[in-house]
Chains A and B, each alone.
Chain A
Amino acid sequence: MSHSLPRPLLIGALTALAVIAGLASLLFGAVDLSLDRLVAAASGDGDRIASIILFDLRLPRALLALAVGAMLGLAGAALQGYLRNPLAEPSVLGTSNAAALGAVAAIYFGLAQLHPAVLPGLAIGCALLSLGLLFLLAGDAESPLTLILAGLAVATLAGAGISLALNLSPNPFAAMEIMTWLLGSLENRSFDHVWIALPCIAIGTAMLLWNGRALDALTLGEDAAQALGADLKRTRRRLLLGTAIGVGGAVAVSGAIGFVGLIVPHLIRPLTDRSPSAILLPSAIGGAALLTLADLGVRIIPSTNELKLGVVTAFLGVPIFLIHLMRERRLW
């Protein structure tokens, strides 16, 4: 039986959760700042330290967590719908790996030190390049399997490149820097990063949200979808381009953060009528809330080094696979 919530209620509740997560992200951090000091800083007449912490550190971090989370959640929902596979997530197209390769190349060749925009720029460039390769490999075939195989080839190639960089890194510190970046984090991000990621994520979001009806029609297979008026070629182009630009932009500033795109649609789906279109927007908002909460957890959970965001989301991904497994074995 379905336990679907009315859509306005679902979207309202998720938005409230995301807003609360965003505000909490401004309140908590390495330095203990009282609410009074933060409110004073926000209104413009606080002390200098509080206002630097709020505007230069916590605000860009909160904004990035919301935006990157939204992009990953939405891309996961759209790709699961398009590939008709509940285990699909943005990395199946190889985009995340390719973007990571671009970033790793920037670190490896020392280009990242030239300007803060070089690393994300290269990451986005590589994401787009991987998309070209994906189109070349997948050809015109409309079957999801062809696309998944082509995506796997691209992802494997990019993964091999990353391993090569680690293998050849001139010293342990360079390797460490690459590893640290690959774990994914939103630590020490500035508004420069926000301005790099946000336009990409905005374009990606718009392109992915547009596909709801075609994704619904694809529930009945490709022939029926086309006979219901869906233009599958355009849908595919919008979807792949939106994912590459949006996820490329997100990975460029956050590093490789896995599993958000997988987990969020699974958490959202049971609350909707389970049609692919119904989970798109809620997955974006839910992704924003989840990643912001995970990033908050990273700061609050006591540990010797700050935990990396990608590590926390990877741990969150495990129960989802277990639930699937249990359903498959009819244990639950």
Chain B
Amino acid sequence: MVSITLEDVGVTLGRRAVVRDVCATLEPGSLTAIVGPNGAGKSTLARAMLALVPATGRILVDGADAAAIPRADLARRIAYLPQGQLLHWPLTVERLVGLGRLPHLAPMSRISAADTAAIERAMMRADVFDLRDRIATELSGGERARVLFARALAVEAPALIADEPLASLDPGHQIDVMELLRAEAASGALVIAVLHDLTLAARYCDRLLLIDEGQIVADGAPAAVLTPARLRRVYGIDARVETGGAWPTITTLGRSDR
């Protein structure tokens, strides 16, 4: 079980304050989406939680300062799926997913049967088991996204931060990934996803953090956060929010004149 607490967190990149005054406590067993327009600071906030960028304020992972936790230790607690599909060498899918076991390997040891089992589980869950002998750089964008998602799952950490895990996925696989994130949370993991699809976020997430210009402008249950007035102010769109069904659906009608 891992919890993350953010107290007055700020990140300045170059001279620009990209994240400002962020306060939130993220609990195990929950699926939280970070949503907001391009350039709002979503990814930077996610990176700050992993101590990948220098931040002011306090970022506590299980009560300890994230920057002071040894890298390998933090890596076993929080799995991270970065944005984009960076992949520098033509590894096979199985070898690539196996990179997720790096935090668990003792120095000079080889991959164990338990690691192999974790790699296979991750490939099965992300629906890439059949691709395991293919070269990852030769896959389609969507297949590659699923392989990289499997890589993050293979860490089997009690927390997962996924930055745009739905990018390049078809609608079917988008739902698969959201179901997986939901299942991870249901099994007690702390799951945070940076998302752009507000309807999927509203359908699957317990909580939304709506971010604009580096600050949290709304934090709460999807139905409470996603109001037409707020969407207009933050995204500059006119949207219809229907709350009558099992989950809120958001239909974008067009650009508003902000």
Contact = CB atoms under 8 A, between A and B. Distances in A.
B102 interface: yes
A218 B89 CA distance: 10
Interface string A222-244: 01101111110000000000000
A213 B50 contact: no
Nearest to A233: B71
A220 B99 contact: yes
Contacts of A276: 89
Interface in B63-105: 71-76, 78-80, 82, 84, 86-92, 95-96, 99-100, 102-103, 105
Nearest to B83: A223
B82 A221 contact: yes
A224 B82 contact: yes
A52 B73 CA distance: 58
Nearest to A83: B88
B71 A229 contact: yes
Given A228-B75, A229-B72, A229-B103, A275 B91 contact: yes
B82 A230 contact: no
A231 B73 CA distance: 12
B82 A228 contact: no
A219 B91 contact: yes
B151 interface: yes
Q: Which of B50, B96, B102 has the most CB of A within 10 A?
A: B102
A273 interface: yes
Contact of A220 (B76, B103, B151): B151
Given A229-B75, A274-B89, A223 B95 contact: no
B135 interface: yes
A226 B79 CA distance: 11
Nearest to B80: A227
Contact of B47 (A1, A220, A223, A230): A223
A84 B148 CA distance: 18
A2 interface: yes
A187 interface: no
Contacts, number: 75
B124 interface: no
A2 B135 contact: yes
B52 interface: yes
B92 A230 contact: no
A217 interface: yes
B102 A275 contact: no
B27 to A, nearest CB: 21
A231 B71 contact: yes
B89 A221 contact: no
Q: Which of B86, B105, B135 has the most CB of A within 10 A?
A: B86
B105 A219 contact: no
Q: Which of B88, B91, B92 has the most CB of A within 10 A?
A: B88
A273 B102 contact: no
Given A2-B135, A223-B80, A227-B50, A274 B71 contact: no
B105 A213 contact: yes
A221 B89 CA distance: 11
Nearest to B136: A219
Interface string A82-111: 001000000000000000000000000000
Contacts of A227: 50, 52, 74-75, 78-80, 82
A220 B92 contact: no
B89 A229 contact: no
Contact of B88 (A1, A218, A223): A218
A1 B86 CA distance: 21
A139 to B, nearest CB: 15
B102 A274 contact: no
Interface of B: 47, 50, 52, 71-76, 78-80, 82, 84, 86-92, 95-96, 99-100, 102-103, 105, 135, 148, 151, 155
Given A219-B89, A221-B82, A275-B89, 7 more contacts: A2-B92, A218-B88, A219-B87, A227-B74, A227-B80, A273-B95, A275-B91
13 contacts: A213-B102, A217-B99, A219-B89, A220-B148, A220-B151, A221-B88, A223-B50, A224-B86, A227-B74, A227-B78, A229-B76, A230-B71, A274-B89
Interface of A: 1-2, 84, 213, 216-221, 223-224, 226-231, 273-276
Q: Which 4 residue pairs are nearest across A and B when measured between Cβ atoms?
A: A229-B75, A227-B80, A229-B72, A221-B86
